[in-house]
Amino acid sequence: MIKKNSKYIKNIFNNVSYKYDFFNNLFSLGLHFLWKKKLISLLKPKNGEVWADLCCGTGDMTFLLDKLLNPNGKVFGVDISEKLLKIAQKKSQKLENTVIYWENKDIFDLDTRLIKFDGICMSYGLRNLKNVEDGIKKVFLLLKDNGRAGFLDFNHSKENSLSSIFQKLYLRFIVVPISGLFNLKEEYTYIENSIKTFPMGAKLIYLAKKIGFKKVRYMKLFGGQMGILILKK
């Protein structure tokens, strides 16, 4: 059983922070950049808008948003892991004229009375929240009317489907053993376990509509290995 509490998740990502970018590139063969760009292109951020990249990690999507929102917009990069956020902040110091504001917080601690966003994105974060439905609801409350949100994460395929079998084999016999060479076996074993409890696409659509989103779309990427959820309030 997974310990889905904020402290446990924070510790996992603090522990993997020093190899986070390296492993993302290695295990996805660099494709995670393309999937993130796909998500951003579907959301269509505009110069002058205010956006949030929740569970921003080391800032891949935060920087993509910054390019599109600059110079008149704002983007907030929010993550519970202070070590991942420090890496993101260090990267941003090499850039000029950014409109990025970094927040080291659990997304559930963001005050919906203080700020509303035109758009919100989250890559590989929704699955790690202590409660997926509550996470989608929090995003709903943080959005302005007609605001849009997008989530990129592993797609939870049907049990014993080719996609599910490939996913399990890849994680179990490639990802976990390699991460174990860096004493991170427990942290990357968590990924497979977290997918088991992550809702399938149809359930994510149901939850989003139940919460109140007017437009909901779910699409699969890379042979069903990844999924994108697009929402409009």
Instruction: List pLDDT tens digits, range 32-86.
Output: 999 999 999 999 999 999 999 999 999 999 999 999 999 999 999 999 999 999 9
Q: What is the mean pLDDT of the chain?
A: 95
Indicate the Cα dihedral angle 156, 32, 25, 8, nearest 10°.
-50
Strand partners, 227: 153, 220
Query: Do residues 145 and 230 touch, judged by C-beta distance below 8 A?
Result: no
The share of the chain scoring above pLDDT 70, in percent, equals 99
Measured CA to CA, the distance from residue 125 to residue 34 in angstroms comes to: 17
Query: Do residues 131 and 100 touch, judged by C-beta distance below 8 A?
Result: no
Give the pLDDT score at 2: 60
Q: pLDDT confidence of 121, banded at 50, 70, 90?
A: very high
Measured CA to CA, the distance from residue 101 to residue 194 in angstroms comes to: 29
Query: Do residues 45 and 65 touch, judged by C-beta distance below 8 A?
Result: yes
Give the pLDDT score at 4: 73
Average pLDDT over residues 208-215: 98
- Domains, in order of start, for the chain: 6-232 (3.40.50.150)
Is the pLDDT confidence value at 1 over 60?
A: no
Q: What is the pTM of this model?
A: 0.94
* Peptide bond connecting 199 to the previous residue in cis, omega within 30 degrees of 0: no
How many Cβ atoms from other residues are within 10 Å of residue 166's Cβ? Answer: 14
Of 220, 216, 228, 229, nearest to 158 by C-alpha is 220
**Digit-coded pLDDT (tens) for 144-190:** 999 999 999 999 988 889 999 999 999 999 999 999 999 999 999 99
